[in-house]
Chain A
Amino acid sequence: MTDTASPTTGATPAARPRVPRPGSGRRARPRRGPAPSGGTGHGSRLTPYLFLLPGMVLFVGLVLWPIVQAARMSLLDWQFNPGLPSPFVGLKHYDRALHDPIFWKSLVNTGVYMVATVPTQMILGLALALLLNKAIAGKVAFRVLYYLPVITSWVVVSLVFEYLFATSSGLVNHVLHDGLGIGSEPINWLGSRWPAMVVLSLLGIWKGAGWSMLIFLAALQAVPKDLLDAASVDGAGPVRRFFAVTLPQLRPVALFVTVMLVIGGFNVFISVFVMTGGGPANDTQVVLTYMYKQAFDFLEFSYGSAIAYLLAIIIFALSFAQMRLFRYDEEAS
């Protein structure tokens, strides 16, 4: 961002005298006579609020209020029909979730997905970043290619993986079964729990690795070069330099990547929704597909909200734990 910032370029009409205000005349307040000191204090006290107004209305009404509303809904028996009263039921829906085997199954599946995808994406991302961090032919091309899955729609890549892992006609079974002769018959990848979790995890890793690569790449470029030079003067080889100099410098970024990947892992939804729909028999249900099903298939909006809030609590607890853990390490070392 900073490399593109050059505030002195651009033909700015900085010296143009009092021009009629463009666009909305209500927003800004004319101000005669410049005040002596710079920066703050010019214009009405209302001015900042006028700049904030349209955005804040949308943000508060459509993001902040729904956060509060979700909590309220989870404590009521929410009626779809706005004319009917929605009685307060306390923690009933939370209690129900904690005694719901399918909720637990979806939580386990989400956990499995995270254990499979988060460390793998971290390691792959870091490895790719290290490979790309030095001068190499086609550097930009590689960066673009590895990032392509990240920017491609979840729906499209889910359909592509569904096609690749199709039981009788997919490329994967074609290679594994017909080509290499593995298994007595083609694997029904999406038809049962664990093979489907494998496919979903592979998709998550494939789609996300380029993201951590880009973040690590930026962090690697910020590692002070004189530290690395000093280390090599002291006789440290590349491996030693990586563990003694580079890795400690990457710690804050690694924390950021971990937290974001964990949140992303809990967010897994579209691939499951598109490829298995949570089936067969809820075997591949994850927390958000279960929430969605309760709310929009069964119209159990309060139960869905309780599930959403349980997920939020888990995410916050985990993020907090990760931050504590990393900070503790830092103090210890």
Chain B
Amino acid sequence: MPLIIKIMLFSLLCSLPAWELVWRLLNDELGANPVEFLEHATGDWTIYFLLMTLTITPIQKVFKPNWNKWLFPMHVVRRVLGLSALAYALLHLATYLVFDMGLSLDDTITDIIERPFILIGMIALTLLVPLAVTSTAGWQRRLKQHWQTLHKAIYLLTFLGILHYALLVKADLLQPLIYLGLFGILMLFRIRIQR
């Protein structure tokens, strides 16, 4: 199968959760608080894709799989996962801006100033954008050794994304703590690998 077809199929797979939301939207299956449902779902999927992106390197180091044989080069797998994270983060942002803020710039600015979790979410999302832009082979070549340094920002922004969620929760921190635990395990791998 040609590489481009494989990549398209993989991207399509990553977009399935979004299609599920579209299906729910069209069939009135978003529940009593449809906007909250969309925000939680897109937020969760952003974190899932960030965590999946971070599992690629540990898998590579531990199992040394032949990515080319099963899918396509490792860095392409990682790029599609990372770009999917950005896609869900943008859907998350759009839902918030349209339905929570009613597209009002004033309300959005006030919200960012008054609520630390909104500010942290915005920072995390902003950090993700340059990583997406420079995810191509061309940029990798141009940035040389800086590329890796730049892309280490994913560690920080994933942590901020989880913190954004934890600060939103009223009392039951179980789910954000599970995310934090998974993130911690993935980070431990990196410390051990470097030693």
- Genuine A/B complex: no
